[in-house]
Structure 1
Amino acid sequence: MNANAQLSHDDLARACADAMWKDDDASRGLGMKIVEVSAGQSTLMMTVEPHMVNGQRIAHGGFIFTLADSAFAFACNTHNERVVAAQGNITFIRPGKLGDVLVARAREISRNGRSGIYDVQVTAGDVVIAEFRGHSRSIGGSWLPEPGIDANQR
């Protein structure tokens, strides 16, 4: 019997996130924090620091995109399959400001075969900062060991 089959969907999602987080130098390096992870969903947060503002003195869009992309990544990797982004786009609605705590909430819209679609909303308090849509692609392998599979084959 597969040991992972004994986990609830949300416990499996959290275990996958923990495995992914330990090697995610980019997200950790930008000060992101995982707020919540469940099957097909994730919430991450990040504070806009001085090195993240542009010449307009607002949050650089690249950092907002990166936060949304990280939330997308954690949401689409909750099913114990290794998944990467195939495409992502963002619409900026309002500027983020120095000191804002940005929260990115990702949710699975569709998952079929090796492909998925995920929406991410980025907010600062009650204000929507950006909307992101990502398309994912499964690349094979798993985050957690499965019985009978050598860890080097993952």
Structure 2
Amino acid sequence: MDQMTTMPPQELAEACAQAMWDGDSTSQKLGMKLEHVAPGEAVLSMMLTEAMTNGHGNAHGGYLFTLADSAFAFACNTYNQITVAQNCAITFLAPGTRGDRLTASARERSRSGRSGLYDVQVVREDGTIIAEFRGHARTVKGTLLSSQTVAKSDDV
């Protein structure tokens, strides 16, 4: 058994999230905040700015998708196996507007072999669900953390 499997699941999820966050310039530059991470789940939030609105004055769907996709990515990468999106779909239910703080909550529904299924709900501060996202994940070769990283955290 290698050291990666001995790290407690919550600690592993947090370490994986930090490793991903450090390299995720898109989420950072859009002002996203990683609010919560646990095995198979993640919550990210983002303030809708004027630059994120479309010609109707509503949240541009691409930004809503990006927020949901980022939450999906953090949720499916909590096991120290590099996991990517294989297919994603989003349904827009209500508009978002400039100044809204949106929260995307991703939850694992199924994980078997190299495949995973995740649902993400995007809500406004008032609790209105504005989008539902479903992502199919595929694990590929590689890990987020090195054995040295895990060994250093075991020494703490």
TM-score tier after normalising by the smaller chain length: over 0.9
Structure-to-structure mapping, 1:103-122, within 5 angstroms: 103-122=103-122
Unaligned runs of 5+ in 1: 148-154
Deviation for aligned residue 1:146: 2.8
Question: Hey, what's the Cα distance between the residues in 2 that align with 1:100 and 1:54?
Answer: 14
Q: Provide the residue aligned with 1:142 in structure 2.
A: 143
Work out the percentage of aligned pairs sharing the same amino acid: 52
1:132 aligned onto 2:110? no
Unaligned runs of 5+ in 2: 149-156
Which one-letter code corresponds to 2:23 in the other structure? D
Which one-letter code corresponds to 1:16 in the other structure? C
Q: Deviations over 1:69-122 (max 9, x none)?
A: 000000000000000000100000000110000000000001111110000000
Deviation for aligned residue 1:6: 3.6
Runs of 4+ in 1 over 2 A off after TM superposition: 1-7
Which one-letter code corresponds to 1:140 in the other structure? K
Give the SS at the match of 2:118: strand
Question: Hey, what's the Cα distance between the residues in 1 that align with 2:107 and 2:79?
Answer: 13
Question: Hey, what's the Cα distance between the residues in 2 that align with 1:43 and 1:8?
Answer: 20
Q: Provide the residue aligned with 1:151 in structure 2.
A: none
Root mean square deviation, CA, Å: 1.1
Question: Hey, what's the Cα distance between the residues in 1 that align with 2:4 and 2:134?
Answer: 29
Give the SS at the match of 1:69: helix
Give the SS at the match of 1:98: coil
Question: Hey, what's the Cα distance between the residues in 2 that align with 1:10 and 1:120?
Answer: 20
